[in-house]
Amino acid sequence: MTLKVIGAGFGRTGTNTLREVLNSLGFGPCYHMYEVIPHSDRIAAWQAIAEGGTPDWDAMFEGYNSAVDWPVARYWRELANHFPDAKIILSERDPEAWYKSINKTILETFRMTDAPDEFAVLRDMTRKLIFEDTFGGNIESKDHVIDVYKKNSADVRAAFGPDRLLTFDPNQGWDPLCAFLGVAVPEEPFPHTNTTAEFLSRRKGDE
């Protein structure tokens, strides 16, 4: 098994929704941060990569057909080179809406001093990979955070042609995604998951 789809979009761009639809369209299992959180060995492996270790991408994604969200999105260039036949999906949303969501969720987690264990065990890895390497240690400047987001999108678009890349807003629903992947449009409604409220509820341990 090898990756057929790689997500290059940052977290909070509908990546969990994308994970669910890729699973339902036959491109699962789909690797996502939620596949990392329960596994200390995966957290340690990503920490080693973030610190400059040599990744074994085949071992990392053994058993998976697709991968989205962080930490995958931090390494879309390397993964696209390693899996040259994989299609790339750049999940996007309006930058202001994205900032509002990530600022209340992922970035706020970095500011917490009393994070629940589920988040505390991820702190070293995510601080290195997202807080430091992605945002340069600066999450307090809205303009900077949005500029980083826009630059990533621009870099992805510059790297791939339309035969390999789909820029996708989950609000577009099934049609562009299914056309890009060459599969039939399902009859069921397009899902929308992991809202800001749902993320905050999990962080508080309410679920």
Number of domain units in the chain: 1
Task: Report pLDDT for 203.
Answer: 45
Check if the beta carbon of residue 16 is closer than 8 Å to that of residue 194: yes
- 60 burial (CB, 10 Å; 0-12 / 13-18 / 19+) is buried
Q: Which long-range CB contacts under 8 A does 199-206 form with residues at least 24 apart?
A: 199/105, 200/104, 200/105, 202/118, 203/105, 203/109, 203/115, 203/116, 203/118, 203/119, 204/116, 205/116
Alpha carbon distance 80, 141 (integer Å): 30
Q: Whole-model pTM?
A: 0.89
Q: What is the pLDDT of residues 71-130, one digit of tens each?
A: 999 999 999 999 999 999 999 999 999 999 999 999 988 887 665 555 555 788 999 999
For residue range 132-181, what is the model confidence (pLDDT) as tens digits?
999 999 999 999 999 999 999 999 999 999 999 999 999 999 999 999 99
CATH number for the domain spanning 197: value is 3.40.50.300
Q: Which domain holds residue 15?
A: 5-203
What pLDDT was estimated at residue 206? 38
Mean pLDDT of 58-81: 97
